[in-house]
Structure 1
Amino acid sequence: MTDFTPFEDLLRGHAGMLDDTAHDRWVRAQSLFEERAYREAAVLLTELINDSADVGHELTDVRLLLARSLFHSAQLDGTIRVATELLEHDPNEPYAHLLVGRALQRKGRREEAQPHLRLAELLGGYRT
């Protein structure tokens, strides 16, 4: 019997999609996120973004879920990077501001976090 890593087990749980489409990977990444497999979701979402680099701004939902996955897996620098990239394409995305603000707070950079947290509240009603 073959031993699989936890990541391989999760992917096997979403089996049958070895030669899958971008949409299949997106759906699988959403499912992994819902299962709280944040690191695994982040891997798939990063691959999806890298494979779709020419699409650019059309990947807002993918970038947002990646930033959320990174935040929930305590990858704060990655959260800030991805959410900031998202804000370059869509500066009015309230949840991206919230993620940047919360990640900066967790890193002890409270003053830098405040403008993002205020924008999150103003743009989307997210209480901080």
Structure 2
Amino acid sequence: MSSDDLVPPPLVFPGQTGAESAYRVAHDLLVRRAPAEALAVLEPALALDPTSSGLRTLRAWAYLLRAQLTKAEAELAGLVEEKPDDLWARHALGRALERQSRLADALPHLRLAAAMSGDPEHEVAVLRVERRLAEAGERSFDDLT
């Protein structure tokens, strides 16, 4: 058995539900850049609690790390639909679309995230996508109105 085969045991704290424990373990794995292992923890927890936005957010993060962009987009679109002011999900959806070269689709999400946060990194993402659209000779939907 190699060290790559080792999966840490789930952490269970007194009074926590399975979902809370799964969230902690999956978050730790994602911080350590272990998305496959995080998904192995998240999927059973989501089978028990499929509406958990916290677990679904972590699953979207894992999909992004694994470059499973279609799955990430679907998860993030659902999260944004349910909670339009979820800044992280909004920005991550824009990034997932950008990484799929769907720049015109990404731009509104990135712009909204930048406006909501004031974060310079979010503003840079907007400028990057706007520049790429301009270089391609494309215009965003917002430019047409």
- Establish whether TM, by shorter chain, passes 0.5: yes
Counterpart of 1:25?
22
Counterpart of 1:74?
67
Q: CA deviation at 1:99?
A: 1.0
Structure 2 residue 35 is the aligned partner of structure 1 residue 38: yes
User: CA, structure 1 residues 47+15, in 2 after alignment: closer, same or farther (shift >3 Å)?
Assistant: closer
Which of the numbers 110, 117, 120 marks the counterpart of 1:117? 110
Q: Is contact 1:29-1:44 (8 Å) kept?
A: yes
Counterpart of 1:101?
94
Instruction: State the distance in 1 between where 2:103 and 2:31 align.
Output: 29
Structure 2 residue 41 is the aligned partner of structure 1 residue 48: no
Instruction: State the distance in 1 between where 2:59 and 2:108 align.
Output: 22
- TM-score normalized by structure 1? 0.78
Q: Is contact 2:23-2:54 (8 Å) kept?
A: no
Higher relative contact order (CA 8 A, sep 6+): 1
Q: CA deviation at 1:47?
A: 2.6
- TM-score normalized by structure 2? 0.70
For the pair shown, the structure with the greater C-alpha radius of gyration is 2
User: CA, structure 1 residues 80+16, in 2 after alignment: closer, same or farther (shift >3 Å)?
Assistant: closer
Q: Is contact 2:10-2:25 (8 Å) kept?
A: no
Q: Which runs of 5+ in 2 are unaligned?
A: 126-145
Q: Is contact 2:11-2:25 (8 Å) kept?
A: no
RMSD: 2.2
1:27 match: secondary structure: helix
User: CA, structure 1 residues 124+45, in 2 after alignment: closer, same or farther (shift >3 Å)?
Assistant: farther
Instruction: State the distance in 2 between where 1:74 and 1:116 align.
Output: 19
Instruction: State the distance in 2 between where 1:39 and 1:123 align.
Output: 31
Instruction: State the distance in 1 between where 2:11 and 2:87 align.
Output: 36
Q: CA deviation at 1:5?
A: 8.3
Q: How many residues align?
A: 117
1:26 match: secondary structure: helix
Structure 2 residue 9 is the aligned partner of structure 1 residue 14: yes
User: CA, structure 1 residues 25+15, in 2 after alignment: closer, same or farther (shift >3 Å)?
Assistant: closer
